């Protein structure tokens, strides 16, 4: 199996296609998750999205061990598979050249690949398979990530071609993108889901790796230049970061009165934590907990100031995003 490493306008790196989502735009939706993100949010539940190109993941719980298997080590030409004392393996990521021969050799799927190159047509054929649900529910395709606009040409072509095929389009964005890229996508969108995480630039930088000026500027310009575009602002509520009346209140006051706006708050969860282990990364928020009562108070305050919230009847429990088998890698 070959693993292409080049993307262009007609081809891009996708790490999941999730069907039957009810939360990421109007109606029943198919979410296409694109690789790459300019932020490093400490709570990120999709760490496999952050790097633009594909990467190898190792789930040690599925590994048979080098005594009975060891195919990965034999296939690796870079000496990047290290045998541990307990017969399990680890990946030396500095030595790894990302050839992915180990992924192809692994019989137990302990080694998997996050991300694969797909064409615009291949993605849309997956999306169109759910077409029967879109007509009845007003649903369609949502591009997510990562930040889908990290692959700007591919994201734009997906949206443009989806529209041509009469598929309703949504895009989830962190807003930290060049305005021209965002603008080009908006011409092909029915709904935009725009994250505003904090109004405090210092805190924003400490928890996401970037300040919020570009994000807020883009949001203001989006409201000015695309007043008729349906916009859902989203805030992940994260303990110790923004779970206060002041933080959420400042966001609510910033968006209040702008055209075609809905507001949604997403409760912190840590369902993405195991994936940090698969990628040899450290999850730093494992000790924090979001109180249901706190979330209700914050929702109540936001609802009072805005009049209503998006998905008002949604329970406060977090949503699991990766419950379906991955359509691109099958894991």
Contacts with ligand SF4, residue ranges (CB under 6 A): 56, 63-66, 69-72, 75-76, 78, 80-81, 89, 91, 96-102, 105-106, 108, 110-111
Q: Identify which of residues 76 and 182 has a Cβ nearer to ligand SF4 in the complex.
A: 76
Q: Identify which of residues 70 and 138 has a Cβ nearer to ligand SF4 in the complex.
A: 70
Q: Identify which of residues 52 and 81 has a Cβ nearer to ligand SF4 in the complex.
A: 81
Burial bucket for residue 158 (CB in 10 Å: 0-12, 13-18, 19+): buried
At closest approach, how far in Å is the CB of 104 from ligand SF4? 9
Q: Smallest Cα–Cα separation from 290: which of 278, 298, 302?
A: 298
Buried b (16+ CB within 10 A) or exposed e, 253-280: eebeeeeebbbbbbbbbbebeebbbbbe
At closest approach, how far in Å is the CB of 264 from ligand SF4? 39
At closest approach, how far in Å is the CB of 45 from ligand SF4? 24
Q: Smallest Cα–Cα separation from 47: which of 209, 184, 170?
A: 209
Q: Identify which of residues 79 and 259 has a Cβ nearer to ligand SF4 in the complex.
A: 79
Rounded to whole angstroms, the Cα distance separating 46 from 271 reads 9
Q: Identify which of residues 104 and 161 has a Cβ nearer to ligand SF4 in the complex.
A: 104
At closest approach, how far in Å is the CB of 55 from ligand SF4? 9
At closest approach, how far in Å is the CB of 54 from ligand SF4? 10
Which residue(s) pair with 236 in the sheet? 266
Which uninterrupted H or E stretch holds 148? none
Buried b (16+ CB within 10 A) or exposed e, 116-136: bbbebeebbebbeebeebbee
At closest approach, how far in Å is the CB of 62 from ligand SF4? 7
Q: Which tokens is 205 given?
A: 């930088």
Q: Identify which of residues 77 and 289 has a Cβ nearer to ligand SF4 in the complex.
A: 77
């Amino acid at each position: 199996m070959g693993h292409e490493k080049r993307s262009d306008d007609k081809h891009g790196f996708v790490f999941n296609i999730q069907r039957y989502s009810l939360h990421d735009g109007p109606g029943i939706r198919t979410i296409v998750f694109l690789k790459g993100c300019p932020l490093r949010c400490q709570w990120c539940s999709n760490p496999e999205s952050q790097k633009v190109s594909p990467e190898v993941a190792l789930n040690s719980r599925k590994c048979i061990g080098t005594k009975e298997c060891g195919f990965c080590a034999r296939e690796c030409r870079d000496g990047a598979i290290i045998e541990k004392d307990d017969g399990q393996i680890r990946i030396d990521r500095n030595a790894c050249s990302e050839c992915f021969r180990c992924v192809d050799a692994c019989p137990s799927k302990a080694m998997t690949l996050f991300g694969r190159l797909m064409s615009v047509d291949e993605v849309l054929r997956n999306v169109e398979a759910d077409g029967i649900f879109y007509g009845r529910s007003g649903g369609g395709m949502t591009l997510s990530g990562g930040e889908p606009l990290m692959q700007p040409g591919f994201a734009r072509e997906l949206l443009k071609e989806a529209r041509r095929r009469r598929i309703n389009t949504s895009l989830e964005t962190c807003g930290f993108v060049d305005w021209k890229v965002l603008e080009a996508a908006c011409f092909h969108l029915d709904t935009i889901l725009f994250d505003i995480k904090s109004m405090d630039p210092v805190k924003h930088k400490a928890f996401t790796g970037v300040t919020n000026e570009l994000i807020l500027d883009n949001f203001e310009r989006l409201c000015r230049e695309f007043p008729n575009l349906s916009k859902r602002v989203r805030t992940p509520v994260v303990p110790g970061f923004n779970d206060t009346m002041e933080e959420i209140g400042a966001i609510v006051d910033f968006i209040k009165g702008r055209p075609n706006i809905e507001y949604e708050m997403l409760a912190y969860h840590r369902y993405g934590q195991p994936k940090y282990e698969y990628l040899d990364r450290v999850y730093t928020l494992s000790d924090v907990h979001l109180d249901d009562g706190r979330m209700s108070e914050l929702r109540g305050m936001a609802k009072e100031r805005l009049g209503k919230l998006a998905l008002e009847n949604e329970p406060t429990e977090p949503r699991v995003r990766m419950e379906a088998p991955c359509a691109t890698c099958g894991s």
